[in-house]
Amino acid sequence: MSWDLQSLFSLYAKEITRSLRRRGLSAETAADLTQDTFLRVLAATPAEGTPHHNPRAYLHQVSRNLTANHLRREALLPMIDHPEERIAQIADPAPSPERAVHSRQCLAQVQAALAGLPARTRTAFEMHRVGEHTLAEIGATLGLSTTRTWGLIREAYLHLAELVDLD
């Protein structure tokens, strides 16, 4: 039989997985080691003229070697499977100190940029962004058309985008 990995995989992958499961490995680990077996053979296929040319036996031997390596690794450093709820408890939702400093710097830049806007533009922007007023409400308050109100808010956005470093 030749070393056509696609046909070898379709012929022997399930057999190798079952063999690994019989050795006590979980379904996920057995599937991973089966994939690793074929990757290992893909990376280093034996020469065609080697004695005892038997791809099936070679694949099983590679899977046994990978299993031994896996078990040895797990004995040294066992893997613990925690439920997602436990992992969520471990993760710290607070931002890192670097992120907190960056956020403060951005906030200071925004405050400085807003202070540099004309009063009417700043008021329109704050009513829109902070007060969540509609353009029509802002226009009525400031005595402007909806189009002119949007123009002021747009100017404020462009001004902030130019002066604030959000990266």
Residue ranges, the chain, pLDDT below 70: 1-2, 47-52, 91, 166-167
C-alpha 36/C-alpha 128 separation (Å) is 57
What does the pLDDT look like over 64-89, one tens digit per residue? 999 999 999 888 887 777 777 777 77
Residue among 75, 66, 63 at smallest CA distance from 19 = 63
DSSP, residue by residue, the chain? ----HHHHHHHHHHHHHHHHHHTT--HHHHHHHHHHHHHHHHHSPPPTT-SS--HHHHHHHHHHHHHHHHHHHHHHS------HHHHHHHS--SPPHHHHHHHHHHHHHHHHHHHTS-HHHHHHHHHHHTS---HHHHHHHHT--HHHHHHHHHHHHHHHHHH----
pLDDT at position 1 is 47
CB-CB contact of 139 with 149 (8 Å) = yes
pLDDT at position 55 is 84
Alpha-carbon dihedral sign for residues 141, 144, 148, 151: negative
